[in-house]
Amino acid sequence: MKAKWIPLIMIFGFTTAMAQDSVQAENAMRRSNDEIQTLFSKGIKNGGYGAPVLKLTHIDNQLALLVGGQGAWVIDHTFGFGLFGYGLASQVRQVNDQGEKLGMEMGYGGFLLEPILMSNYVVHVTFPIALGAGGVAYFENERFDVNYYYRDAEAFFIAEPGMNVELNMTRHLRFIMGGSYRFVSKMDLSQEGYDELEGASLFAGFKLGVF
């Protein structure tokens, strides 16, 4: 008779253990759902990077080089939030209606929003959106000339969406290249043509950081 009870006891013990495991799993799931998730939760990865960048663009119908960079806090490998800044590094010159030879200076900066897709893949894409402000000025004669002085200046707002292709070279180094389009608010400069700052850009650089 005792031998007949052994299988029943084993089945009962196994069923009880399974039920306890199920209850524990359900309680753990309930606690997980009740817990408020934040940017600094253990399940969310945080990183950051800095990146020197070169941009090739057209300003006032002339080929121009912008030099600058960006840095961002990377949230869970999927979104970057940071700052950017660029300045005109090449000469953009024009002869006005009075025959005066004028040069341009320009720079802008602001906030960077960057959705990131498939960050762990060797090649992946991001969609940076730059929002900020800047300034442009034109001057007479050459820089550092005795008669060098500004003729006019104006501030502007800027929005520059783009697409970026990234190559993971190492765990902490990425090569980036892509394109963007610069939208600039209207300005009231006295020299015709010097408010033509909108246009497409091609850029390349390196991201160095923890991704």
Token pair listed for 4: 């007949």
Could you give the count of Cα atoms lying within 13 Å of 115 in the half-sphere of its Cβ? 5
Check residue 194 and give its pLDDT. 45
Helix, strand, or coil (residue 165): strand
User: What are the respective helix, strand and coil percentages of the chain, to the nearest 5?
Assistant: 15, 55, 30
Check residue 109 and give its pLDDT. 98
Residue 42 and residue 173: Cα distance in Å, rounded?
25
**List of residues 6+ apart from 184 with CB closer than 8 A:** 156, 157, 158, 195, 197, 198
pTM summary value: 0.74
Residue 22 and residue 43: Cα distance in Å, rounded?
24
Residue 203 and residue 160: Cα distance in Å, rounded?
12
Residue 116 and residue 79: Cα distance in Å, rounded?
5
Asked: is 46-210 a CATH 3.40.50.970 domain? The reply is: no
Express each pLDDT in 129-143 by its tens digit.
999 999 998 887 665
User: Which residues of the chain have a pLDDT value below 70?
Assistant: 1-42, 96-97, 99, 141-149, 189-195
Check residue 143 and give its pLDDT. 59
